[in-house]
Amino acid sequence: MSSTNQETQNNPDKVVFRGVLATSIFVFVTVIILNRQLIPKPDNIPSWTYFLPKLNALINGTCTVLLLVSLYFIRNKNIAAHKKTNIITFGLSSLFLVSYILFHWLAGDTHYPENAPVRGLYFFILITHILCAASVLPLILLSFYRGLQMQVEKHKKLVRFTYPIWLYVTITGVIVYLMISPYYPL
């Protein structure tokens, strides 16, 4: 057996870290490719495409509530409920990511009007949302892994950073939707 294979078997964290890195890079590159419209859109956009932003806002709002419920459970030492809630939240966030990518591939971007009075506020929220969303994915994946492995101290250290960023992303996702939705081409 090669020393690299043996090293990986002796340290499963390396495999997880590589998987987290690969997943994070894949998602980031996919979003960049879609934003640059490097993949051609289909000739006919399915009619359900314009429902996806509303679905995404609903998912984000649900994740906000679930993250708060998860915090409640862990503060009350209900680890089983905390874990189940986080698994549901992680699953919904994964569904959101697929829906988000699908929408931006099919429909492209919607532009906020230049003459809108809250344009500056919209872009501030949008930019901070995007930066936080891009940076939180690896933290979520690592926090999720540590929690599932019951590596409590490592999980707690990660969640101190992950939780507020993830919560901010879910809240601002809904706000961004509410601010841009009047301008979707329906």
Residue 25 has pLDDT above 90, yes or no: no
More confident residue, 63 or 109: 63
More confident residue, 4 or 162: 162
Could you list the residue range(s) of the whole structural domain that residue 102 is in?
3-183
**Residue 2 banded pLDDT, cuts 50, 70, 90:** low
Query: What pTM did the predictor assign?
Result: 0.85
More confident residue, 40 or 117: 117
CATH number of 48's domain: 1.20.120
Q: Quick one: three-class SS letters along the chain?
A: CCHHHHHHHHCHHHHHHHHHHHHHHHHHHHHHHHHCCCCCCCCCCCHHHHHHHHHHHHHHHHHHHHHHHHHHHHHCCCHHHHHHHHHHHHHHHHHHHHHHHHHHHHCCCCCCCCCCCCHHHHHHHHHHHHHHHHHHHHHHHHHHHHHHCCCHHHHHHHHHHHHHHHHHHHHHHHHHHHHHHHHCCC
Residue 3 has pLDDT above 70, yes or no: no
pLDDT digits (tens, 9 = 90+) for 109-158: 788 899 999 999 999 999 999 999 989 999 999 999 999 889 999 999 99
pLDDT at 26: 86
pLDDT at 16: 86
**Residue 41 banded pLDDT, cuts 50, 70, 90:** confident
Mean confidence (pLDDT) of the chain = 89
The domain tally of the chain equals 1
pLDDT at 7: 52
Residue 19 has pLDDT above 80, yes or no: yes
